[in-house]
Structure 1
């Protein structure tokens, strides 16, 4: 792994001190410097070094969100966007994936600390990047976006007033759009990934009795399953029906009748297809779930 230079160490320390002193301008300066260094490394194809800059920017963004420093957290997201652009141009997948997961981390932390605007920015940047990645058939990058959106979405439900947050709706609609694109482009792992994240969001929403969210998630999963069916993507069809079954029974157990009915109706649209509940499908989905968990855990 690349070591930090003395200069880089100094900048990171300045950024951290500026956060503990709530000195916005100092954080901005540190972020600008780290961005310049990071893009410089990418242009020289020094990917491990560039990734270290990404991690440092993410840590500053996360620390800023923990301190309630909205502007500094926004600046960290903007800094990462610049690196993302450079990384996409250079086609450095490893760095791109790391940047995308970093948006998820900052957005999740922001949502947990009631910084709505920061969480919203992170989610919308992810949404845009996800559609681009899916249209370019970059499956691993698409999956990184899916994880980030799902993590932000789940965190929004844990906020004080989750039902008045636009953020969960943004996460659901971005995931829904990506799910359809991935199904149409036969990116089956990514399509299953979207369904898994939507299912996790539905479970989180049910814990807070948020029936509207659960209803729109059920609809999104149904749409993705339908697209997957047209493309003969058995695993994605299987996961769509399995997610809807989970939502239906969990909602029923919690007396969330609207949500349960919505899932049941969505599920019925798959009825004519006897969905093969075989071991192979279950195993494939589990492999994808595990891969996503590992990616997220490694990025934290």
Structure 2
């Protein structure tokens, strides 16, 4: 439940977006980031999450309105709260912030705001590496969701510098995936592989062979790291994603992408990859968890708190 002052600032922020008034948006975001930090220091996590949701709402609206500076300010406001949330070890708030980066970045991508989308992806990438290194599995999964949603939007819209934006998402997912595998965070590694596969499907639909090839390379790297740690599910998902890419590339006559995926698959030939109902069930559970997190961050959780 937001306080009267918070509600007033949210209204100011949204009204300022409608009027394309950057100063009003910045004023609202500054207040909400400050109050969110205060709530965390006071161990009031539900209230802090409320401030995060408000910033996300304003940031998404700004991105959809094409207000680049305001969208960037929303990302920076969330970053300030994120730092305190990590220090306070408030996982729920941290996950909410990470998913909010994905929401704003996705909206920016859909409006062809390349710089904002890339900023959101870069912030998520750094956060993913940090989360994996401190064994924050659910946080790493949240990063994977955010990066995947931005990456899929980038692939579908074909920015003038789409390859650079797509490369940022792929690189960030790949780095986080390798660290997750090395840290034996199998659910996170599988989640990242699932998002890379979804991004590959979106890229293939737009005939973006180089992007698909880069994804195949990242899947191979994550799979190899998972194999070294004897993580069956992550190895299985890496090969399954590569098989999907190879088959779909063949059917779409994307020869370069198909060859890259085939070569990547060959690196797993000597492994005894287990493919049974238990593997499939576990991976579907991870997929469903990710779907529920994203749906919740899109509004259902917010509504339940009002």
State the TM-score bracket (shorter-chain normalisation): over 0.9
Partner SS for 1:158: helix
Q: Which residue of 2 aligns with 1:182?
A: 180
Could you tell me how far 1:7 is from its partner in structure 2?
A: 1.1
Q: 1:36 aligns with which of 34, 37, 46?
A: 34
1:19-61 Cα offsets, whole Å, 9 max, x none, are 1110000000010011111111111101111101000000000
- Cα 1:162–1:242 change in 2 (3 A) is farther
Could you tell me how far 1:274 is from its partner in structure 2?
A: 2.9
CA distance in 2, matches of 1:135, 1:59: 30
Could you tell me how far 1:164 is from its partner in structure 2?
A: 3.8
Q: Is the 8 A contact 2:154 2:162 kept in 1?
A: no
**Alignment root-mean-square deviation, CA:** 0.9
Matched, 1:297 2:295: yes
Structure 1 window deviating more from structure 2 (157-166 vs 271-280): it is: 157-166
CA distance in 2, matches of 1:12, 1:222: 45
Tell me the TM-score normalised to structure 2 length: 0.96
Q: Which residue of 2 aligns with 1:87?
A: 85
Could you tell me how far 1:90 is from its partner in structure 2?
A: 0.8
Partner SS for 2:157: coil
CA distance in 2, matches of 1:163, 1:240: 28
Matched, 1:112 2:89: no
Equivalent residues in 2 for 1:20-31, closer than 5 Å? 20-31=18-29
CA distance in 2, matches of 1:194, 1:58: 23
Could you tell me how far 1:272 is from its partner in structure 2?
A: 1.3
Number of residue pairs the alignment of both structures matches = 298
Q: Which residue of 1 aligns with 2:46?
A: 48
Q: Which residue of 2 aligns with 1:18?
A: 16
Partner SS for 1:275: coil
CA distance in 2, matches of 1:181, 1:14: 41
Q: Is the 8 A contact 1:163 1:210 kept in 2?
A: no
- Cα 1:135–1:230 change in 2 (3 A) is same
Consecutive unaligned residues in structure 1, runs of 5 or more: none
1:72-108 Cα offsets, whole Å, 9 max, x none, are 0000000000000010111100000000000000000
Matched, 1:241 2:239: yes
Q: Is the 8 A contact 2:36 2:51 kept in 1?
A: yes
Q: Is the 8 A contact 2:163 2:211 kept in 1?
A: no
Q: Which residue of 2 aligns with 1:125?
A: 123
Tell me the TM-score normalised to structure 1 length: 0.98
Consecutive unaligned residues in structure 2, runs of 5 or more: 299-306
Q: Which residue of 2 aligns with 1:60?
A: 58
